[in-house]
Amino acid sequence: MMQRLATFAMAARWRAVLTATLSAAAALVFPPLTSPLNYLGGAVIGLVSLRLGAREGAGVLVAGVALLAVLGLATGGLAAALAVATLMLWLPVWLAALLLRTSQALGLTLRTIGTAGVVLVMLAHLWLGDPQAWWLPRLNEVLKPVIEGQGIDVSSYVSELARWMTGLLGAAVVLSVVLSLLLARAWQAGLYNPGGFGTEFRQLALGRGAALAGLVLVALAALSPAGAMQAFAADAVPTLLVLYVVQGLAIVHALVERYQARRGWLVALYVLLLFAAPQMMPLVALVGWSDTWIDLRRRAGRP
């Protein structure tokens, strides 16, 4: 079904615009599906850009944002907010797709996305000064009416959430761009180079520079005295966690392919990631980070 959707979107520009726009609009109507549908819309932008280049990708992006603005205006006067929110999701995917199209290097592209995420977190700290203090009244305003009647210590809960909000938001943006780009790349391979994405993904490597940068950030977050530097490092770590979860998954896929293991192992891993993310993501990320130094795929024999 997903491949049929990609085929439909690539048949004409208006179909790509329609697919991306309806995905983004449906994300607002069906909140539980918000994230997957947003990834889907971004993947359409990525697919068109990967296959047809910057101009065609930009054409679909601009037309889709404009159509969403019209829909927002017609349904509640939220045209500007809807257009800006969609542009913030789609523009990074468009840029990442162009980098991947030019470089043909998935590792370089993901490193660039991760670097942009860390820079975004840094800018938030520079602009806001104390992000936790900035988030606290806003979260109180939104969440206090919802949770104060449920026997939860509102002040403690909101304060803790405000502490992590900047890092979680940075990681969410990076995750959105990465997943949309990977889906776009998988669609491109399915349509024009069957089997190509699997090979490319299983060979993904972020490199030692990224691994060292991640080690420095973790050390700063864990060992620095409380202050601006420690707060920034703590908020940047979730962004790198996303990247190394992806590399860890690439390694697991490579090992399953190498040893011809049952696909049920992969299904079980993804189910655990879905339902036990706080416990599983650090473990998978550690596998990805460790591979930089011990090269599990080479030891096993690359597929």
d(CA 218, CA 224): 10
d(CA 162, CA 132): 5
pLDDT of residue 76: 67
d(CA 57, CA 211): 32
Spans in the chain with pLDDT lower than 50: 32-33
**So where are the chain's domains?**
1-104, 106-303
Question: pTM of this prediction?
Answer: 0.91
Q: How far is CA 56 from the centre of its chain?
A: 23
Residue with tokens 């539980």: 32
pLDDT of residue 112: 96
pLDDT tens-digit series, residues 196-230: 999 999 999 999 999 999 999 999 988 877 788 88
pLDDT of residue 33: 46
pLDDT of residue 151: 62
Residue with tokens 């909101």: 158
pLDDT tens-digit series, residues 229-259: 888 999 999 999 999 999 999 999 999 988 8
State the distance between the two ends of the chain, measured CA to CA, in whole angstroms. Answer: 28
- The answer to whether the beta carbons of residues 21 and 9 sit under 8 Å apart is no
What is the 8-class DSSP label of residue 194? T
pLDDT of residue 202: 93
Contacts of 174 (CB under 8 A, 6+ apart): 113, 114, 116, 117, 239, 242, 243
d(CA 191, CA 201): 17
Contacts of 50 (CB under 8 A, 6+ apart): 97, 100, 101, 184, 185, 188
d(CA 152, CA 173): 29
